[in-house]
Chain A
Amino acid sequence: MNKFFIMMGHTYLNRVKSKSFVITTIIMILLITGLSNLQSIMETFGSEDKEKKVAVITENASWYQSLEQSLSTNEGITLEIYKGDLEEAKSEVEEGSYHSVVQIESGENNLPEATYYANQIANTGSSEPVRQALQQVKTQQVTQEADIESDTLQLISSPVSFELVALEKSAKTAEELNQTRGLVYIMLFFMYFAVIMYGQMISTEVATEKSSRVMEILISSVSPVSQMFAKILGIALVGLTQFSIFIIAGYLGIRSSLNNGNESLLNGLGLTDIQGSTVVYAVIFFLLGYLLFATLAATLGSLVSRLEDAQQMIAPMIMLVVAAFLIAMFGLGMPDSTFITISSYFPFFTPLIMFLRVGMLDIPLWEVGLSIGLLIVSIALLGWIGSRIYRGGVLLYGKSSSLKDLKTALQLSKKE
C-alpha cells in the first residue's frame, strides 16, 4: 500500500512539475480569464471605434428626415445628406472621408429603395441599423397612405403571448431546463476534454515506462495492478489540480467581471441557480466516467512497446468518447428520444448521456441507479480484465502493437 502511494505521488509530481503541464495550465487560465471578461474586453475595443459617417443621396427630403429621426438613438452612426452624385460619393468612401454611402430612390408604388455602398460589407453592424431604419420609414409611409392608425399598427406588430407549461408536476420548467442545459453543456465539454487529455496522459505514462524499459524494474518491485491504479489515481489528482486551478481562475474572472458591472457569463449559460441534485449527478458521472476511460487507457497503454504507438492504440477509445459527445450534443435538443434512452445504458456512453437525461428530464430513480450500477460493474470488470492484460502487457515487447497482443498479454499473465 505504501508503494502504491509512492508511485501515485511520483506520477502526480512528475506531471505537475513538467513544462507541458505548466504551459497548458497557464494558457487555459488566460483563456478562462479572457472568456469571463469577454464583455469588458470587447467594449474596450468597441469604444475605440470611430463614429461612422454615412452619406445619403436622395431627392426626397422627408425620407432623409425620417431616417435621421429613427437613427438618432444610434450613437455609432451619423447621417449626412450628400449633394454630389453617386460616383463622387463612392470615391469619397474609398478615400475614407465617409464610411459608406446609401442611395435611396423611389421604386414601385413610390416606396423607398436603397443601395448601400461600403468598402467592406462583411460587417453588417453598420448596414443593418440603416436597413432597419429604412424599413421603418417604409412602414410609416405605407400606413400613412393606407390611413391606418398608429395604435392599430402597434397591435399588429406586437408579439403574441405564448407560454410553455409542463403538465407533469415533476417535469422541469422551461426555466429549469435552460439552466440544466447550460450545466449539461459545460459538463459535456469538461468530460470530453478530461477523458481525452488525461486518458492520453495515462497511456503515454505507461508507454513511456515501457519504451524506456524501466518497466521491467518497476514490476519487480510493485505489482502491476497497484501500478496501474497508482497511475490512474495519480493522473486523476493531476486533473483535479488542473481543474481546481481552472475553476478558481474562472471564479475570480467572473467576480472581477461582475465588479465591473457586467452581466456574467454564468447568466448567459443560465447557471445562476442550479439544482443541487444536478451538481451531485455531475460529480458522480464525471468521476465514474473518468475511472472507466482511465482504466481503458491504462490497459491499452500497457500493450504498446513504443511511445509512438500509444496514440494509435487509444484511437478506439477516443472514438468512443467522440461518439458519446456527438450523441449527447444531438440529445440536448431531444433528450426523450428512444435512441438517447437506449444509449444512456451503454456504459461508455452513460457518463455523458445519462447525465444529460437526468439533467433535462424527470427520470425515475431506479433508471439512474441501474445505469450507475451498470457503470460501476463495467469499471470493476474492465479493471479486472485490464489489470490482467496490464500484467502481461508490460512484459510484452514486439514490433507490432495491435489488439492481437491482447491475447498474448493475457496468456503471459495467466495463472496456472
Chain B
Amino acid sequence: MTLRLQDVTKKFGSFTAVNQLSLEIPERQIFGFLGANGAGKTTTFRMILGLIDQTRGDISWNNGNIGYGESHLIGYLPEERGLYPKMKVKDQLVYLAKLRGMKKAEALKELEQWLERFKVPEYKNKKVEELSKGNQQKIQFISAVLHKPKLLILDEPFSGLDPVNVEMLKEAVVDLKEAGTSIVFSSHRMEHVEELCESLCILHHGSPVVHGKLKEIKKSFGKKNIRIHADFDLSFLKDASGVMKYKPLSNGCELQIEREEIAQSIFEKLQGKGFVRTFDLEEPTLNDIFIEKVGAAYE
C-alpha cells in the first residue's frame, strides 16, 4: 500500500500552488511533510484525498486512484479542526465512522477503547462544545483513526496540547505506524518531525526543496553545528573561515560551520586561550535545515 505522487502540479489560474511534486510513502512509515504557511501542504492533502484534481501528474495508492470507494481506508485530521459542536462525542464519532464504512457496534467498541486510552472516557456523552480545546483535539484525532485507516493524513495533530497529551498522542501515532499504516505527518514543530519521521519533504512555494530520508538529508546538508562553552571571549570566531553563523550564548557560543573539517581548525584556534568546558560537534537540526531552505525565520 504505497502512496506515490509523480510530478504533481496544481495551478489555480496563473498561481501555481504545487509544482512538480514527487513523493513515495511506503507502508508502515511516517512521512514528514513540511513547509511554511501557504506552501501548498493542504492543497497537496486535498489532491491526495481526491477532493480537488491535480492540473498535471499522477497520484496513486496501492497502484490505483484514491476515490470515495477507498474512503474507509483513509483517515484525515485536517489542520482546521471541525466537529459538530452540538453533538455528543459518542454520536459524533459513530456517525463519522459510519460514513467511513464502519458498523455501529464496532465503532462503539473502538471508541470506548480510544477514549480509555486518551483518559477521557467521561466525555462520551458530553457535547463537543463543552470540552476544552485540547480534549476536542483528542476527539478529532479519534475521529481520524477510529476506522483503522491504512493511509492517515495528520495535519498539525499536536497543536494545542500540553506535553503530557502530546506524548500520549505521539505514542498512538507510532503504534498506528507499527500496525502498518502509512502516515503523512505535517507539523511546524521540527522536534516532533525529527522524532517521528524517517523520511520527509520540505515544500517551499509549492516546490519540494528538500526530500529524502532524514539521516541523508542531514548528512548531505553538510553544515554542522558546534557548541562551545568556554571561560573566555569567543567573539573572534565570528570571522573565522568556514563559519557561517555565529550565535553568542550566555556562557559561550553556537557556530554553524560549512563542513565537518572546519571543526578541526576551530578546535585548534581555541588552543591556549583558556579553559574550554564543552566542545560539541552536532548534527544540524531540522530547524536549521528548514530555516536555511525556506529562508524565512521560524518561531
A interface residues, Cβ below 8 angstroms from B: 2-3, 6-7, 10, 14, 208-209, 212-223, 395, 397, 411-416
Contact = CB atoms under 8 A, between A and B. Distances in A.
Interface string B47-87: 00101110100000000000010011010101011111101
A415 B99 CA distance: 25
B83 A220 contact: no
Given A214-B83, A395-B46, A220 B53 contact: no
Contacts of A397: 80
Given A212-B82, A212-B83, A411-B12, A220 B95 contact: no
A411 B144 CA distance: 28
A219 B96 contact: no
B13 interface: yes
Contacts of A220: 49, 51, 71, 74, 76
A81 B78 CA distance: 89
Interface in B10-25: 12-13
B82 A221 contact: no
Contacts of B96: 217, 221
A412 B76 CA distance: 20
Contacts of B101: 2-3
Contacts of B74: 220
A414 B13 contact: no
Contacts of B68: 3, 221-223
For B51, B55, B95, which residue has the most chain A Cβ atoms within 10 angstroms? B51
Given A214-B84, A222-B68, A414-B53, A10 B78 contact: no
A8 to B, nearest CB: 12
Nearest to A214: B82
Given A212-B85, A221-B68, A395 B51 contact: yes
B100 interface: yes
A397 B80 CA distance: 11
Contacts of B49: 220
Contacts of A213: 78, 80-82
B193 to A, nearest CB: 23
B80 A217 contact: no
Given A214-B84, A220-B76, A415 B53 contact: yes
A221 B100 contact: yes
A213 B12 CA distance: 22
Contact of A395 (B52, B81, B83, B95): B52
B162 to A, nearest CB: 23
B139 to A, nearest CB: 11
A3 B51 contact: no
A215 B98 contact: no
Contacts of B12: 411-412
Contacts of A411: 12-13
Contacts of B98: 3, 6
Contacts of B76: 216-217, 220
B53 A212 contact: no
B283 to A, nearest CB: 37
18 contacts: A3-B98, A3-B99, A3-B101, A209-B84, A213-B80, A213-B81, A214-B83, A217-B76, A218-B99, A220-B49, A221-B96, A221-B99, A221-B100, A222-B68, A222-B99, A397-B80, A411-B13, A412-B12
For A212, A214, A397, A412, which residue has the most chain B Cβ atoms within 10 angstroms? A214
A207 to B, nearest CB: 13
Contacts of B72: 221
B52 A6 contact: no
A165 B49 CA distance: 69
For A14, A215, A221, which residue has the most chain B Cβ atoms within 10 angstroms? A221
Contacts of A215: 82
B137 interface: no
A413 B143 contact: no
Contacts of A395: 46, 51-52
Contacts of A7: 99
A414 B11 CA distance: 11
